[in-house]
């Protein structure tokens, strides 16, 4: 079946009012195909600004993280309700940097995913292996374990987009080959089909998230289980438009 091409832009801890305005203006001025869904994820202080500036119907705004409580004594956290209130429609959860630097484990990622979905926000769920795990040959076991934690909590995956991120390829300039990515994406879809049914799994979009850029994005074009990209540093640059248009 045809799955809508999905491009996420994770700005990470980068940006200012000026630079984010420039990025959104560039998207507003760009030619973006109707059959592409774009979600830009600036730092939390700029979510409302970005949402207010977006003019293209294909472009929406997402947060980079959210907590699993609606309110309370949780200093420094942002709730799903709050990010919705300022215009965000998506949230990235389980990113390797959250897992590594802030020690978020599979259980917490799963709980946050369930909470966000229950509040009506789409989730870009990140999974992937480290270099050590890749060398040990346990990539598929790692992604299965990460997915299983969420499967234990979430039964409706209609608002989940899975982003496979080989951690060793994030910010390093290294990238899995399109063939490697397709092999792992196909495994992820097969695993989800076993747990959720083939009909559900066929509808879930699986993104590649390891140093995608304007030059290599087009090389994934004919891979049937690569449904888009979660883009890091390149989402801050003009080449982000090239990635968005890499299927056309």
For 148-177, write each residue's pLDDT tens digit: 999 999 999 999 999 999 888 877 777 788
SS3 2: coil
C-beta separation of 225 from 185 below 8 A: yes
C-beta separation of 166 from 128 below 8 A: yes
C-beta separation of 211 from 10 below 8 A: no
Q: Report how far apart the first and last C-alpha atoms of the chain are (Å, whole number).
A: 18
Query: What does the alpha-carbon distance between residue 213 and residue 24 come to, in Å, rounded to a whole number?
Result: 18
- Predicted pLDDT of residue 1: 56
Query: What does the alpha-carbon distance between residue 167 and residue 195 come to, in Å, rounded to a whole number?
Result: 25
Residues recognised as catalytic: 95, 165
> For residue 87, what is the enclosing H or E element?
none
Q: Within 10 Å of residue 214's Cβ, how many Cβ atoms?
A: 18
Angle at 110 between CA 74 and CA 120, to 5 degrees: 75
pTM above 0.85, yes or no: yes
Tokens linked to 244:
């968005």
What are the chain's domains? 5-244 (3.20.20.70)
What is the DSSP-derived secondary structure letter of residue 7?
A: E
What residue spans of 6-135 are helical by DSSP H?
Answer: 17-29, 47-53, 80-85, 96-101, 106-118, 131-135
Phi, psi of 28 (to 5 degrees): -60, -35
What residue spans of the chain are helical by DSSP H?
Answer: 17-29, 47-53, 80-85, 96-101, 106-118, 131-135, 139-151, 178-196, 198-203, 239-244
Between the CA of residue 154 and those of 52, 57, 89, 103, 151, what are the distances in Å? Answer: 31, 28, 18, 22, 5
Query: What does the alpha-carbon distance between residue 14 and residue 64 come to, in Å, rounded to a whole number?
Result: 12
Do the strands 122-127 and 36-41 form a parallel or antiparallel pair, or are they unpaired? unpaired
C-beta separation of 5 from 35 below 8 A: yes
Sequential pLDDT tens for the chain (248 residues)? 589 999 999 999 999 999 999 999 999 999 999 999 999 999 999 999 999 999 999 999 999 999 999 999 999 999 999 999 999 999 999 999 999 999 999 999 999 999 999 999 999 999 999 888 988 999 999 999 999 999 999 999 999 999 999 888 877 777 788 999 999 999 999 999 999 999 999 999 999 998 889 999 999 999 999 999 999 999 999 999 999 999 98
All residues at 6 or more sequence positions from 46 whose CB lies less than 8 Å from its CB, including other chains: 15, 17, 20
Tokens linked to 43:
């730092």
C-beta separation of 96 from 169 below 8 A: no
């Amino acid at each position: 079946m045809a799955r809508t091409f999905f491009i996420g832009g994770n700005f990470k801890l980068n940006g200012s009012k000026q630079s984010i305005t420039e990025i959104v203006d560039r998207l507003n001025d760009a030619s973006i195909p109707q059959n592409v869904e774009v979600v830009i994820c600036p730092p939390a202080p700029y979510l409302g600004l970005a949402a207010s500036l977006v003019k293209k119907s294909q472009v929406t705004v997402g947060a980079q993280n959210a907590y699993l409580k609606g309110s309370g004594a949780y200093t420094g956290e942002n709730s799903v309700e709050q990010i919705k209130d300022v215009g965000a429609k998506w949230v990235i959860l389980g990113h390797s940097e959250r897992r590594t630097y802030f020690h978020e484990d599979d259980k917490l990622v799963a709980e946050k995913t369930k909470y966000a979905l229950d509040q009506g926000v789409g989730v870009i769920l990140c999974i992937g292996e480290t270099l050590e795990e890749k060398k040990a040959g346990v990539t598929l076991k790692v992604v299965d374990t990460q997915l299983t934690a969420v499967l234990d909590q979430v039964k409706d995956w209609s608002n989940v987009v899975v982003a496979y991120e080989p951690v060793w390829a994030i910010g390093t300039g290294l990238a899995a080959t399109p063939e490697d990515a397709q092999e792992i994406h196909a495994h992820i879809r097969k695993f989800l089909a076993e747990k959720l049914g083939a009909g559900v799994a066929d509808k879930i979009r699986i993104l590649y998230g390891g140093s995608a850029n304007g030059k290599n994005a087009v090389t994934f074009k004919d891979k049937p289980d690569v449904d888009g990209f979660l883009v890091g540093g390149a989402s801050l640059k003009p080449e982000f438009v090239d990635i968005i248009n890499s299927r056309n």
